[in-house]
Amino acid sequence: MKNLFFVLVIAMVFGGCVPNTTKMNNTAATNNTAANNNPDIIVQKVDKDDVRNIIKEEKMLAPDVSETELSFTAVGEGIAPLNTVSSAQALALAKRAAITDAYRQLASKLYGVKVNGKDTVKDAMLRSSTITAQVNGLIKNASVIDESFNQGLYRVNVELKIDADKWKELFAY
């Protein structure tokens, strides 16, 4: 019954035809027993907001992509060097490495990664192969949303929120 109601609502809103023998009212749409007892159902005008609500409830459309703010996240990991003076220094260096790794990952998501490759061939044999990856970008206003330290590994979750219009202006290519 719910699907019939939805089809009729869509037909009414978008100018479709509804046969005279098929009519609907609110009580029949919500109560199956009333619809079974009363074959004559009355058609009512439906507001566009009602249609949008039904579509959202039925999950018939993808979520609204006209968000005003986009969010990017990255997880950075870092370990401390072995030659630290104290455990506090080891923890601080591991945290710094994790945050730097998270920023690098955000930059690669936003700006992309430049990859260079070079192969050297001599006498029809591969002599050397070098591949380098480079990330250049500016990350501002990223915030640490979660951090943990376990068995020498410091893990940081970083989030960057950016206005959708600004994103389109800067990164539409």
**Domain-terminating residue out of 58, 81, 101:** 58
pLDDT digits 0-9 by tens, 41-98 = 666 666 777 766 766 666 544 445 456 888 899 999 999 888 999 989 999 999 999 9
The answer to whether residue 87 sits within a structural domain is yes
Cβ-defined contacts of 69-72 (< 8 Å, 24+): 69/161, 69/162, 69/163, 69/164, 70/161, 70/162, 70/163, 70/164, 70/167, 71/159, 71/160, 71/161, 71/162, 72/106, 72/109, 72/110, 72/159, 72/160, 72/161, 72/162
In this prediction, residue 135 has a pLDDT band, given cuts at 50, 70 and 90, of very high
The answer to whether residue 73 sits within a structural domain is yes
Stated pTM of the model: 0.56
Same domain, 75 and 159: yes
Domain housing 81 = 69-171
The answer to whether residue 63 sits within a structural domain is no
The answer to whether residue 64 sits within a structural domain is no
Same domain, 52 and 103: no
Q: Quote the pLDDT of residue 20.
A: 43
The answer to whether residue 115 sits within a structural domain is yes
Mean pLDDT of 19-28: 42
Same domain, 116 and 167: yes
User: What percentage of residues in the chain have a pLDDT greater than 70?
Assistant: 63
**Count of structural domains, the chain:** 2
Same domain, 84 and 53: no
Least confident of 6-15, 48-57, 157-166: 6-15
Same domain, 47 and 131: no
Same domain, 78 and 161: yes
The more confident residue out of 14 and 168 is: 168
Cβ neighbors of 113 (< 8 A, separation 6 or more) are 133, 134, 135
Q: Quote the pLDDT of residue 47.
A: 74
Mean pLDDT of 97-118: 93
**Domain-terminating residue out of 58, 83, 102:** 58
Same domain, 19 and 48: yes
Same domain, 110 and 50: no
pLDDT higher than 70, residue 34: no
Least confident of 12-21, 87-96, 110-119, 152-161: 12-21
Same domain, 92 and 45: no
Same domain, 10 and 87: no
Q: Quote the pLDDT of residue 3.
A: 46
Q: How far apart are CA 140 and CA 158, in angstroms?
A: 12
